[in-house]
Every structure is written in C-alpha cells, then in structure tokens.
C-alpha cells in the first residue's frame, strides 16, 4: 500500500519521459527481467508497473507493490541493454527479498532500543552525560547495525539481480562494467564502514565473481534462443 501510494505521488510530482523509443527500450528490458521472477514470489509479469522519469539523476528504484522507476540519467549512463538490465534486476530483487519491509522493521527495533535505553539512563545520569551517552549509542546503532544491514541487502540484491538478468538473456559480466563506470563518475567515495552500500571496489569484485559462475547459465539461455535484443530499441544518447 505504501509503495503504491508513494509511486502515485511521484508520478504526479515528477516529469515522466514521453519519448516513445526510450520507453520501449526500458520496457523491453524490464519485461525480460520480470518474466524471470519465480512464481513463488507471488508476482506475475503483468503485475509490474514501469515508469521512466525524465530526470538527469543517475537512479532507478523499485517499490513494494511491483512498481519500478527508472530515471533517464541512468538510461543514458548505461552503455547497453545488459548494463541497464543489471540495474533493473537489482531493483526488482530488492522487492522480491522484501528489503524495504526488513529495513523498516530494523529501524523500528533500533529506535525502540534507544528509547528504552534513554529511559534507563534518565534515572541515573545528569542531562549532559545522558545526551553524550545517547549520541554515542545512536552512532553505534547506525554504524554497527543499520548500515551493515543495508550493505547486506545491497549485496543480496546484486546477487539476485545478476541471476535474473542471466536467465533473461543478458550478459551478467556487464554488471561490474556498469559499476566501474559509476565509480569513475563518483567524485568522492565515503569509507565503506560509513556507507549504506558496499565500496565500489568490493562491489565490482563480488559482481565479477558472481558473473564467472553465471556465464555458463547465460550461454545456455542464449543457446535455447532467449535473446531480448532490446538494444535495437536503444534511443540516441543526448550530447
């Protein structure tokens, strides 16, 4: 419900890409990815809604309720259908793994723990000491619980997304290539300890390792005739 509501609000607040070629290109890739979602997850291909937002930001997302948003900035950055498939597969994987729900639950539990600790500290410490203690506990909860939890989700979504793209007929090796491009674009990378995502070098290494194990799967899929061939629909890059 929250995912659907948020998605409807975004469609009202952000400009939607109207270029037919761009939409067909992204739809072709998305359709191929969601067609590979195992039925036990409870989603049929027709359940997924895609919107391409006209936004130069390099971003994409998927929300509970099978809602997918892709920004034109990401479409332009991805050099081919395989790279964009890695992004869409990753975002679809977040929904399948219910990471949004798990993240919310973890934040609620952490906040509950901090509130309880505050009540206990309030009985024994002066206000300044209590504030200092709560600040330290808050940082500990953020860096010791919430951020590693997010990094775990990102790595899981990378793995699941790469599997989806390989079974859909996209080259799983292109996932790390895209991240190499994104790493070059980044002006500064925060230390991995303080980042919600794995460090680019770690992510690229993990994606390369996973691709090595998925390449044979991808080749078998191609041999069976599964070839999305979405690149023929690729729009011209903006200069």
Closest Cα to residue 161, out of 44, 58, 33, 71?
33
CB-count exposure of residue 35 (10 Å: 0-12, 13-18, 19+): middle
Question: What number is the average pLDDT over the span 144-173?
Answer: 80
pTM: 0.77
Q: Across the chain, what does the average pLDDT equal?
A: 79
Residue 129 scores a pLDDT above 50: no
Q: Spell out the domain ranges in the chain.
A: 2-233
Question: What number is the average pLDDT over the span 198-219?
Answer: 91
> With bands split at pLDDT 50, 70 and 90, how would you rate the model's confidence at 64?
confident
Q: CA–CA separation, 103 vs 121, rounded Å?
A: 27
CB-count exposure of residue 88 (10 Å: 0-12, 13-18, 19+): buried
> With bands split at pLDDT 50, 70 and 90, how would you rate the model's confidence at 115?
very low
Q: CA–CA separation, 2 vs 95, rounded Å?
A: 13
Q: What is the pLDDT at residue 45?
A: 96
């Amino acid at each position: 419900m929250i995912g659907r509501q948020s998605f409807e609000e975004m469609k009202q607040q952000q400009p939607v890409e109207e270029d037919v070629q761009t939409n067909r290109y992204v739809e072709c890739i998305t359709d191929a990815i969601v067609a590979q979602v195992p039925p036990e997850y409870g989603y049929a291909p027709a359940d997924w809604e895609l919107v391409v937002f006209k936004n130069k930001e390099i971003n994409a997302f998927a929300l509970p309720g099978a809602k997918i948003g892709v920004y034109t900035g990401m479409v332009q950055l991805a050099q081919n259908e395989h790279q964009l498939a890695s992004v869409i597969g990753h975002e679809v994987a977040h929904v399948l793994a219910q990471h949004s729900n798990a993240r919310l639950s973890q934040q609620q539990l952490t906040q509950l723990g901090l509130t309880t600790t505050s009540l206990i500290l309030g009985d024994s410490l002066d206000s300044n000491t209590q504030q200092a203690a709560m600040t330290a506990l808050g940082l500990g909860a953020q860096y010791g619980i919430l951020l590693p939890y997010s990094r775990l989700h990102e790595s899981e979504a990378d793995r699941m997304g790469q599997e989806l793209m390989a079974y859909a007929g996209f080259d799983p090796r292109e996932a790390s290539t895209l991240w190499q491009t994104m790493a070059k674009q980044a002006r500064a990378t925060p230390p991995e300890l303080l980042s919600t995502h794995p460090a680019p070098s770690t992510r690229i290494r993990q994606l390369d390792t996973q691709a090595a194990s998925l390449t044979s799967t991808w080749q078998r899929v191609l041999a069976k005739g599964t070839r999305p061939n979405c690149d023929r629909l690729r729009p011209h890059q903006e200069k």
